Amino acid sequence: MKKYTYFNRDLSWLSFNERVLMEASNERVPLMERIKFLSIFSSNLDEFYRVRMPVMLRNKQQDSQNSIYDQATEIISSQQDRFGKTLNEFIIPELRQAGIHFCYQEKIPENLFAQTTEYFYCQVAGLLQPVLLKEHSSFFLENDMLYILVIYKNEDEQEHLAVVNIPTDNLDRFVKFRLDGEDYVIFLDEIIKQNLKSLFPKAAHIESYNIKVNRDAELDLLDDEGPDMTEILERQLRKRKYGLPTRFLYEPGLPPHHLETIIDIFELRHASVLQGGKYHNSKDLASLPVKNQLHAYPEWPMIRKLGGIDQYTTLFDTMARQDLMVHAPYQTYDTILRFFNEAAIDPEVEEVYTTMYRVAHDSKIALALISAAKNGKKVVVLVELKARFDEANNIRWSKKMKAAGVRIVHSVNSIKVHAKLALVKRRHAEFPLLGLLATGNLNEGTARFYTDHILLTAHQPMLKEVKKLFRFLSKKKRPEITDKLSFHHLLVAQFNLQIKFLQLLDREIVNAKNGLKSGVTIKLNNLEEEVLINRLYEASNAGVKINLIVRSICRLVPGVAGQSENITVKRIVDRFLEHGRIFIFTNGGDHEVYMGSADWMNRNIYKRIEVSFPVYDEKLKKEIMQIVSMQWEDTLQAVRIDKDLKNVPLKVSQDGIRSQEAIYKLLSEMNS
């Protein structure tokens, strides 16, 4: 068997975060949006240390020759240097030009002392809990929280260590003050440091350094832990903030002997101990109190009209006549809310089923499902409690819906249900089943900035398969080989998804060898699973032209002789987060288009219930293909991934294409 090469998963993810950082220095991006990209980069990196770094640390400890950890650390260090340079040399000077004095790595101006001192005593002081470390050696640094390490001497010249919390869970990280016609933005950290003498009144000398710990955020869930997933998860979530430390950041200048003391006190020997910048949690930059539309993206009002829907017909009746497609966030998400709202009040609706992976904090969809249950309808909701970092919110909504009479189903511990589906069953209707199949979560919050596609259809054979899947998921069992569940229209992970995609690729290989039209265009968030990657390599070697748009992790190595000469990989980062998964197969000229929830990752293929679905409506199929074509032709926000995992900018002609803007204009014209 031919031996192929693959990028490392974690290094590929760091390449994606590098692409995010590139937007922070992109002069075409408005100032405030560039600051947000710095925030996203920092937030991504924190998650990397909570989730990926624990695995890399364990691998390094088991194999001292393993170099991935060292490579990742070197890459992160280089990216952090670029972060600091971007902020200091570009962002802060531009803020000054805009009349905003951002006090970054500088002392609070003396002429602001009166205002900052008043703010400290009126807003901050009562939230501080200084801890003397020698007296309280059992004190615990919580995950991702900010602290100040205080080193002080009393009159007897004895040195003491203390930790003071920075209460960003109750106060904004940045405080804006106005003086002499200019805005000053000050770190909460600096306001506390300015007033440390009030916390340690007997101190003759005080030094202070910012510190922070990231901890392992993985939850330890096993199938034999019992049936009550809610109770198990709530116990695990309480433990999450006390997970094993993976990274300790400290401000430059901390004396080495005190660093050693801190490492011992907080048991940080197995963590990455890194000298960071002066400030940590740069993800807070997203909340910088600077509101100026001139420095933000120009508004793109959401397209409110969707072709085929009018004020005289219900959405359900419209769906019975034709398939509909909503492209979020370009088009209004109200159509999706209307689907659930009509289900709640329509007297002909008997049953409502849906999956919910990440429930919106103030979910209108969940409220509609509650109303449907109270209105006497059978409502079954599969809430995936194990959606990482959304567990607590999903538990809250599960309890609320269950109390209202909704039947709540949770998946078994070892598998996640990531499919995005909803189904309504009506009595006395020509088309009794109406459904919704999506590429993204049924979440009106994230729908404002995630690009996704939602199909609304009355295709009865496909929806019967959706109902069959809901019936199976309601049994709360892991799929087994003995399960006789067959699907003709849907591609369902654990059943036929991987097999069908391999068959579709094989058909393109045969067509290429026979001189027929062939080609594959795939848009994903992540491409990792080796069986499918190998088939893409085989298709490339057979002469199939393959275009891949992969936002984040991509283990496939493009442009390698004898392996991937016919494969090109691009990555798009812009104002909206690219999230939709789309699969286009040329099929001799009779194109087949699939969409769905599944990335091509090990977890999606082997450990989740995912659903991809065909687009049968010719008009909608052409619409999707046109959108993907615009993304492929993007020259302004797309980069090419080369065989060294570098983000290579594309050559920009005078008429450069920005795909998200082009898609917005296309959909605006289509629905005008």
State what percent of residues in the chain have pLDDT above 90. 79
* Contact between 353 and 423 (Cβ < 8 Å): yes
CATH of the domain at 267: 3.30.1840.10
List of residues 6+ apart from 497 with CB closer than 8 A: 491, 598, 605, 610, 611, 612
Claim to verify: residue 262 and residue 274 sit in the same structural domain: yes
Q: Is residue 305 part of a domain?
A: no
Average pLDDT (255-261) is 94
Q: How far apart are CA 235 and CA 479, in angstroms?
A: 27
Structure tokens at 53: 């770094």
Find the mean pLDDT for residues 338-343: 98
Q: Please tell me whether residues 661 and 537 are part of one structural domain.
A: yes
Are 34 and 150 found together in one domain? no
Whether residue 235 has pLDDT greater than 90: no
Amino acid 225: pLDDT: 43
Mark whether 581 and 553 lie in a shared domain: yes
Residue, of 81 and 231, whose pLDDT is higher: 81
The helix-helix angle for 53-62 and 68-86 (nearest 10°) equals 140
Q: Which residue has the higher pLDDT, 184 or 62?
A: 184
Number of domains in the chain: 4
Please give the annotated binding residues for ATP, written as ranges. Answer: 44, 450, 551, 579
Sign of CA dihedral 305, 307, 311, 313: negative
Domain containing 426 — which CATH number? Answer: 3.30.870.10
Q: Answer with the one of 46, 76, 104 that is the final residue of a domain.
A: 104
Is 622 in the same domain as 546? yes
Q: What is the pLDDT, as a whole number, of residue 244?
A: 87
Pick out the residues of the known binding site for Mg(2+).
358, 388
Report residue 108 as tokens. 């609070």
Nearest CA among 175, 193, 189 for reference residue 101: 175
Q: Is the pTM of this model over 0.95?
A: no
Number of neighbours of residue 559 by Cβ within 10 angstroms? 17
- End position of a domain, from candidates 104, 132, 149: 104
Residue 483 lies in a domain: no
Do 533 and 394 lie in a common domain? no
| Domain boundary, last residue among 73, 104, 135 | 104
Over residues 379-390, the mean pLDDT reads 91
- 205 pLDDT more than 80: yes
Binding-site sequence positions: 44, 358, 388, 450, 551, 579
Per-residue pLDDT tens over the stretch 162-180: 999 999 999 999 999 999 8
- 658 within domain boundaries: yes
The alpha carbon dihedral of 91, 94, 95, 96 has a sign of positive
* Cβ(194)–Cβ(116) below 8 Å: yes
Considering the domain architecture, whether residues 571 and 661 belong to the same structural domain is answered as yes
Average pLDDT, rounded, for the chain: 92
Backbone angles phi, psi at 362, to 5 degrees: -120, 55
Mean per-residue pLDDT, 351-379: 97
Confidence check: pLDDT of 136 > 60: no
pLDDT at 135: 59
* DSSP-derived 3-state class of residue 40: helix
Buried b (16+ CB within 10 A) or exposed e, 236-252: beeebeebebbbbbbbe
Domain co-membership, 115 together with 184: yes
Same domain, 508 and 552: yes
Tell me: pLDDT of 65 over 70.
no
In a shared domain, residues 535 and 652: yes
- The pLDDT score that the predictor gives to residue 222 is 52
| pLDDT at residue 376 tops 90 | yes
For residue 182, what are the β-bridge partners? Answer: 179
Count other Cβ atoms within 10 Å, centred on residue 126: 9
What's the whole-number mean pLDDT along residues 116-142? Answer: 90
Tell me the C-alpha distance between 621 and 614, whole Å.
Answer: 9
Higher pLDDT, 386 or 581: 581
Residue 224 has pLDDT above 50, yes or no: no
| Domain range for 14 | 1-104
Q: d(Cα 556, Cα 639) in Å, to the nearest integer?
A: 16
Report pLDDT for 84: 94
Token reading at 101: 């004095």
Ranges assigned E (strand) in 133-269: 146-153, 159-165, 174-179, 182-187, 205-215, 245-250
Maximum distance among all Cα pairs of the chain, rounded to whole angstroms: 90
Q: Is the pLDDT of residue 77 over 70?
A: yes
Residues classed as catalytic:
418
**Is pLDDT larger for residue 537 or for residue 56?**
537
3-state secondary structure 421-440: EEEEEECCCCCCEEEEEECC
**89 and 119 together in one domain:** no
Does residue 292 lie within any of the structural domains?
no
Look at 413-422, 500-509, 636-645 and tell me which has the smallest mean pLDDT: 413-422
State residue 479's pLDDT score: 81
Please indicate, yes or no, whether residues 355 and 499 belong to a single structural domain of this protein: no
With a cut of 80, say whether residue 127 has pLDDT above it. yes
Contact 616, 323 (CB under 8 A): yes
